[in-house]
Structures are given as structure tokens and as C-alpha cells.
Amino acid sequence: MFSVKPVKPTFKSYLPPLQTDLRKSPQPIKKLEAKLLPGEIVVNEVNFVRKCIGAESGRDDLWGKLICTNFKISFITHDTLPLQKFQYRSRLLGEHDIPLACVEQVVTVNDAKGKQKVLGSNQKLKFNPTELIVYCKDFRIVRFRFDEAGPESAKKVCLAIAHYCQPADPQLLFGFEYVGKQYYGSSGDRVNGVDHGGGLQTPLFDRPSEWDREIKRTGASEWRVCSVNEGYAISPSLPEYFVVPVSLADQDLKQYSGFFATQRLPLWCWNHPNGSALVRMASIRDPAQQRKLDQRICNAITKSHPKRSDVTKSDLDKTLPNIQDIQAAFVRLRQICVIEPFEESEEKWLSSIESSRWLEYVRAFLKHSAETVYILEGKRSSVILQEEEDRDLSCVVSSLVQLMLDPHFRSLQGFQSLVQKEWVMAGHRFLDRCNHLKKNDKEECPLFLLFLDCVSQLMNQYPAAFEFTETYLTVLSDSMWVPVFSTFLFNCPLQHAEHSKEFAQSKNIPLGEDKALRFPPVWDWSQQFTLKDQALFNSPLYVGKGATCVQNGAVKSFRRTKKSYSSTLRGMPSFQNGMAGEHTLDSLPRRNSLVLRLRPEFSQMRDAPENPSERFFRDWFSRPPDLQGLLLPQLLPSHLKLWRLYFLRWVPEAQISRGGPITAFHKLSLLADEIEILQSQLRQYKGSTPASTPAFTPGTPQPEHRRMYFKASSPQDDASPPEYLSSSFPFSPVGNLCRRNILGTPFSKFLSGAKIWLSTETLANETV
């Protein structure tokens, strides 16, 4: 049978000459010491371990020491990866390290006895493992072999890993020890000393001033910051400060709160320049109070609208997939992307992707968000996003709506503030959804990843509208599995506060001026990456607020005043003419009006008058997009794509060597960097008068302060894409995805009955 050999040549050129002896014996390992972070301790370790690199032959395998700490699985070696040309290094993790929080499943194997076991916490292992396979939450599959290692120590390390990746209590998550140690400032060990938010530009929305600023920025003059929940007096899941209509007094709020699930009062998210507001709300528990309370809330929101326009309610639970659906889709997708053997799954690849339903869900969220945009922008009506608990689906929808409507959130700082506001502060249960404690699989759901995927779809359609890159989104999602950031460790601000206080007290940590441990937010990127590496987050394409752009040969600045904001939002004029203005409100159902359909069956449409929302979308799509205005996603299924960088980055067979979109990105970066240098040189000409500056520094900014990762270089360098670029860049599949076949059986089948990897029907069953 013809086998597709093409992937072979891609790798061939990399292979070193065959000098490496397959049976090379482990060399004496000297000075292989774990690099430890403050608060990190070694639990167990084993020497003479082989890390598998290639799928079949052991030729490229590395020899070293495997260590389990309270933070990570660490593999230390003097060998270098033969196939590796580039790696994006984290300050917190070594080249081969896996944070324990990233471990999805630990599998031990004994080849000789033909045994294997999925290891859980506090379990026994009746055989000596010859191999350890670590399945990671970020889709990596890493294999270690113990052929030459001491059997007892190998077993101990495996058991330790299995045990330590399932902490019994949140305070056992490494971040607590790590952050706690930062308070012993003089220890001299502050390699990554926490800067307590000093230089951070991203608002965390944990103080009233930051909400005030957001109110001003969006012109929400009829809304106010309320502090009824100070000290979490009313609701355990709400932030201490949030925004409500001015017409609601604190007294009213206190009174209403009791009727909502977990006392979650409605939260203001955002104001449209036309005055309509985006609000999110939990369901009202007491059916007797429901109508009355609903009425009052709606009235208050209406009063805060300059045109007193009606409020539209959008029931997310009714229209969107629930968290179990999403988790199931994710598990199936993982199965297809990294577990199924590559060649065998080629033929049915497209239908397998479809049957995972992941893309369908991505589309559903984008679509629902676009429809919400229509109500805010086209109908100029305020919207309440309603969800049972208001802590899951509404995070995705409210963020997407704001991302589409407000260009501020498409800047790096804006985006981070959006996640902070709609996820962290709104009480998305990161601890449970990430399943950091691995206690309750039913609560696990990659909702945040789904959101990032939606963002990547928008980015793919409008690449110049975003200040940040696809790499940024991927790294952000990977950071969920580094358990030291306040962002992803807790279910809500209260839990954050309680645990950080308790831990500090129980350990007698000298907090100084702080009241509790202060975890760094993930937005403090210097925790993880050097300034140079952070440049990979910056998009060379971005047409930002202050950015310049050329139109018809004239340099134009995009800087704009706050006032002109509304007029730059697109789609407005046609509605101002009254063509589809206020009166269309009556022609639509008020409640649950989100039955609007984005894309009508045109054949049926011929006779029916065009629906205003359809018209809205059509009008918008018929004009070129204004990247600093409203952006709507193209929702035809042909335009939504699998997020390759995220899902396929570890798959060696899918790697395009020295190709992929990154090569164009590289080229763009060089140009953008050149422009940056020119700009700074021009500024100097303008700013300098010959006499005033004797000690004048020349125009080129220092490389590390330039925005682009790839820098314009000197003429001797050639500008062809560097060798190390690939479609996986800045990640590398080498050693990160070792699928294993046992006796010719695909591993997925061999493991049947085991936990999450197999809880789904196997692909084979689905496609029969």
C-alpha cells in the first residue's frame, strides 16, 4: 500500500550522522542538580533515566536525572536535543520541565510483564515501571524510560509524581510556598523576586478607582461604583467593587441580593457610546420574586440609558452549549489531535474534527456574541446576559462582545484588563474549571481556552486589529498550568483573599504592609519571560490607536479623541437615518430576541422582507472593515479553522519546517522594526536643537526596547527565514509528543477503561 512518505524528508535533513551509538551506555552523571525556585523542594529523584525523543528509534533519546519536586517534574541532562533549533524558555521552568499542575494523567508501564497502570494519588504500584508516560493538559505526551535506572527509585519517583500532582488542598498548590518565600526578602534567593504590581499597567479591578476609570472611558455617566460588597459582605462570588445603575441605591442592592443565586447582583460590563449597556446577571432563585425583581432591574438599566431604550435579555443557558458539552468536545479534540496515530487519522480528519464539535461551539459563541453586538449597536438597546450562575458562559460572551465593539480591548493592556474584569473579578471558577486539585472531573472545562480560540478566529480574520499575537494567546493559556499566578488559581476574589490570608497566618509569614499574600498576576510577564522573549507577543501588523498607517500614499495617524469614538464605530449611519431605526424594535420579540439568525436561507428570503439584523450584518460586511471600530466575525463554517498553533504544535508530522504563517510574520517584523528605528530617529531630529544637547545619544533604540522580536539586521545577514522557524514556532515538537504503540496496538485502545482519555468513544467507533 502506498504510504505517505512526505513527512520524512522534512526531518531527514535534521538528523545527525549515524555516529550516535544506539546502545550507548549511560554515562556517569555528574552534578545534575535540580534548579529550584524559592519554596521549591525535591521530593524524589532517580538517575540514569532516558527521555524519549523520537517515536520509534531511541537514537536521539537523552540521558539524565528525573526529579519530582513540589512544583514540577524536572528532567536534567547534559545532553542537548539534537533536533532542536529553538526554544522559547520560561524563567520558571527548564527545557524539559513539566509543572505538576499541567499533568493530566500519569501512566506507568512494565514492558516485560506487559503491565500498565494509570497512577492516582496515594496508590500502590505492584510492579517496577520500565516506563513513565506523562499526559499533559497542554497536549504534550512525554515519555521516560527506566531501563538503566534503579527500579526502586524509579517507582518512588512515579508514585511521588502521581501523588504531588493531586494536591489535597488549594494551599498545597506551589504558588503559596513560592509567593510566601518572597516575603523573606533578604534571603538573597529572589531570582524572580515578585514586583508587587508596581510597574504593572494592567488594571486588576480590585479597587474603585479602576472601575471609575472604566466608567469614564466608556462614557457610562449613569452608572456608579458600589461598595456594598466590601469585605465580601453580601456575595461570596462577587468582587468587592462593581458597577451598578445610579438609580439603584445601596439599600436596594442589599435587599435584592438575597433573591439571586449566590447573592450575585447584576454586574455592569461595558457601555456603548450610544448609551446602551452590557450587563451580566445570575438567575433569580425565588420564582415569586422573579417578575418583580426582573422589572426593577430592567427599569434601572433603562433609566441609565440616555434614550431610555428597552432592555433585551439573553438567556445563555438556553442557546449555548453547557460546560459538560464543551469539556466533552475538548477531550474528543485532544484524542484526534494528539492521541490518534497520525497517518491512520488522515483520511477521516475533517469529519473527526467536525464530530468533536469543538469548532461548532467556537462558532456558537462567536455567533451569539455577534448577535448581542447587533442589539447593542444596531438596536441601541441594553443587553442583560443571563446565566444560572453568571460565572461561565457569560464570561466568554461578555468578553467577546466587548472585543468586537471596543478597539481598546484589542490592545495588549486592554485585552488583559478585559480578562481581569470579565473572568477573574467576575468570579470565573478557574480553580474548578482547571481542575487544579483533580478532585472533581465533572467541574473541569476549558472555557477559557475556548474563549482564546474564539479570539484567535477573530485574529485570523482581522490580523491587523490586534496588538498581540497568536503566540501570546497560546502562552497565556499555557500559563494556566503554572500555578503561581493569582489569575488562574482561584474561583473568585474572596477565595483568593481567604486562602492568602490563612496561609500567611498559618506559616507566620512576615507580610509587612500587605494584609495577605500577594500573588503576581499572569500579566506580570517578567515573572515568566525575558523582555526579549516578551516581544513575541507584539504583532507587527497592529493598526493601533496611536499607530500610523498609509492610505493613498499619505501618512495618517489613527490617534483619535474620545468624542469621535462613536462615529468611528461602523454601521451607525444607516440606523441614524431611521431606515432601520427605533421602529424596528417593535417588529422584534422583546424577550429572547436572540432567535435572530445570522445567515438566512437566501432561497427562502426572496419573498420575505429582510430582517433588520440580517441587514445589519450584510451592511457591515459589504464595506471594508475599520480596524479601529466594530469587528464582526465571518461565521461561514468555511472561515472558522482549527487553531493549528495551539492544537498541533507538538505534532511532529504536522510541522512545516521553515514554513507556516510565522515566516511572513518574520518578514513583517523586520519591516516594522525598521520603521520603529526610523520613527525614533525622526523624533530626534524634531526634538533636537543643535546647541541644547551636548551628550546626545544616537537614534537607534536599544534592541531590547524595540517592539519586535525579529530585529532588522545588518546587510550581511540574509533576511531569509531563520532555520529554526516552523509552523510550531516558538514551540517545538521535539520530545514533546511521543505516542506509544504497545505490541502494535494504538495506545488509546490499550488503555481502555482508564480515566479521561478514554471516557469518550474512540474514533473508530464514531466513524464506523
Partner 1 sequence: MASASIPAYSSNALENSSTKNASRESLKMEPLSDMPLLPGEERVIDKDIIYICPFSGAVKGKVVITNYRLYFRSVEAEPVVTFDVPLGTISRVEKMGGASSRGENSYGLDITCKDMRNLRFALKQEGHSRRDIFDILFRHAFPLSHGLQLFAFLSQEKFEENGWNVYNPMQEFRRQGLPNDSWRITFLNENYELCDTYPALLAVPFKASDEDLRKVATFRSRGRIPVLSWIHPEKQAVITRCSQPLVGMSGKRNRDDERYLDLIREANGGTSKLTIFDARPNVNAVANKATGGGYEGEDYQNAELVFLDIHNIHVMRESLKKLKDIVYPHVEEAHWLSSLESTHWLEHVKLVLAGAIQVADKVSSGQSVLVHCSDGWDRTAQLTSLSMLMLDSFYRTLHGFQVLLQKEWLGFGHKFGSRIGHGDKNHADADRSPIFLQFIDCVWQMTKQFPTAFEFNDRLLLTVLDHLYSCRFGTFLYNCESARDANEVKTKTVSLWSLVNSDRSSYINPFYTMESSRVLYPVASMRHLELWVGYYIRWNPRIRHQSPVEQRYRELLALKDQYLKKLEELQLSGSAPRLSNSTAPSPASPTQRVTHMHTPF
Contact set for partner 1, span 594-653 (CB under 8 A): 599, 601-603, 605-606, 610, 615, 618-619, 621-622, 624, 634, 636-639, 641, 644, 648, 651, 653
**Contacts of partner 1 in 9-38 (CB under 8 A):** 9-10
Among residues 685, 687, 684, 679, the alpha carbon closest in space to that of 712 is found at 679
Q: Least distance to partner 1 from the beta carbon of 612, Å?
A: 12
Looking only at residues 312 through 351 of this chain, which bind partner 1 when binding is defined by CB under 8 A?
Answer: 342, 346-351
Residue 546 lies near partner 1 (rule: CB under 8 A)? no
2 counts as binding partner 1 under rule CB under 8 A: yes
CB closer to partner 1, 638 vs 752: 638
Region of 603 on the Ramachandran plot (φ > 0 left; ψ -120 to 50 alpha; else beta): alpha
Of 552 and 561, nearer to partner 1 (C-beta) is 552
Nearer residue to partner 1 within complex by CB, 448 or 620: 620
Q: Residue 75 or residue 342: which is nearer to partner 1 going by CB?
A: 342
Query: Binding segment for partner 1 among 108-116, 194-202, 501-509, 685-693 (CB under 8 A)?
Result: 685-693
Taking CB under 8 A as the binding criterion, the range among 289-297, 469-477, 559-567, 684-692 that sits at the site for partner 1 is 684-692
Our finding on whether 82 is near partner 1 (CB under 8 A) is no
559: contact with partner 1 by CB under 8 A: no
Contact between 655 and partner 1 by CB under 8 A: the answer reads: yes
Closer CB to partner 1, residue 112 or residue 768? Answer: 768
Q: Which is nearer to partner 1, 695 or 768 (CB)?
A: 695
377: DSSP letter: I
Give residues 482-541 in contact with partner 1 (rule: CB under 8 A). 540-541
Report, in Å, the least distance between residue 91 CB and partner 1: 29
Question: Are 609 and 332 contacting, i.e. CB atoms less than 8 angstroms apart?
Answer: no
Query: Residue 608: how many CB atoms within 10 A of its CB?
Result: 10
Residue of 611, 593, 592 whose CA lies nearest to 602: 611
Three-class SS of 565-628: HHHHCCCHHHHHCCCCCCCHHHHCCCCCHHHCCCCCCHHHHCCCCCCHHHHHHHHHHHCCCCCC
- Please identify, using beta-carbon distances, which residue of 359 and 400 lies nearer to partner 1: 359
Q: Which is nearer to partner 1, 29 or 668 (CB)?
A: 668
- Number of residues located near partner 1, criterion CB under 8 A: 99
Cβ closer to partner 1: 224 or 739?
Answer: 739
Residue 147 binding partner 1, by CB under 8 A: no
CA distance 91 to 114: 39
As a whole number of angstroms, the distance between CA 11 and CA 652 comes to 9
- As measured in angstroms, the least distance from the Cβ of 709 to partner 1 is 15
User: From residue 699 to residue 738, what is the string marking binding to partner 1 with x (rule CB under 8 A)?
Assistant: xx-----------xxxx-xxxxx-----x-----------
571: left (phi over 0), alpha (psi -120 to 50) or beta: left
| Alpha-carbon distance values, 404 to 205, 456, 621 (Å) | 21, 13, 14
Phi, psi of 311 (to 5 degrees): -105, 135
**274 versus 727: smaller Cβ distance to partner 1:** 727
Cβ neighbors of 601 (< 8 A, separation 6 or more) are: none
Query: 252 Cβ partners below 8 Å, 6+ apart?
Result: 296
User: Residue 294 or residue 619: which is nearer to partner 1 going by CB?
Assistant: 619
Q: Which is nearer to partner 1, 21 or 601 (CB)?
A: 601
- Count Cβ atoms within 10 A of the Cβ of residue 126 and give its class: 0-12 exposed, 13-18 middle, 19 or more buried: exposed
**Residue 412, interface with partner 1 (CB under 8 A)?**
no
Which amino acid, residue 330? F
**Adjacent-strand bridge partners of 118:** 107
Please answer whether residues 407 and 418 qualify as being in contact, where contact means their C-beta atoms are separated by less than 8 angstroms. no
Minimum separation from the CB atom of position 624 to partner 1 (A): 8
Minimum CB distance to partner 1 smaller for 200 or for 664: 664
Q: Is 221 in the site for partner 1 (CB under 8 A)?
A: no
- The DSSP H or E segment spanning 293 is helix 287-303
Instruction: Report, in Å, the least distance between residue 744 CB and partner 1.
Output: 23
Residue 227 interacting with partner 1 (CB under 8 A): no
Q: Please, which of residues 365-394 interact with partner 1 by CB under 8 A?
A: none
Binder among 112, 555, 595, 768 for partner 1 (CB under 8 A)? 555
Q: How far is the CB of 707 from partner 1 (least distance, A)?
A: 13
Name the residue among 320, 559, 568, 358 with its Cα closest to residue 450.
Answer: 358
Q: Is 681 an interacting residue with respect to partner 1 (CB under 8 A)?
A: yes
Which of positions 444-463 make contact with partner 1 (CB under 8 A)? 462-463
In total, the chain counts a number of residues equal to 768
Angle at 766 between CA 761 and CA 768, to 5 degrees: 135
Burial 154-176 (b: 16+ CB within 10 A, else e): bbbbbbbbbbbbbbeebbbbbbb
Nearest distance in Å: CB 468, partner 1: 16
CB of residue 651 vs partner 1: minimum separation in angstroms? 7
**CA–CA distances in Å: residue 415 to residues 257, 269, 418, 529:** 30, 14, 5, 19
CB distance 354 to 640 below 8 Å: no
Give me the torsion for CA of 45, 49, 55, 61, rounded to 10°: 130
Nearest residue (CB) to partner 1, 304 versus 456: 456
Q: How far is the CB of 755 from partner 1 (least distance, A)?
A: 27
> Residue 83 interacts with partner 1 (CB under 8 A)?
no
Least gap, CB of 611 to partner 1 (angstroms):
13
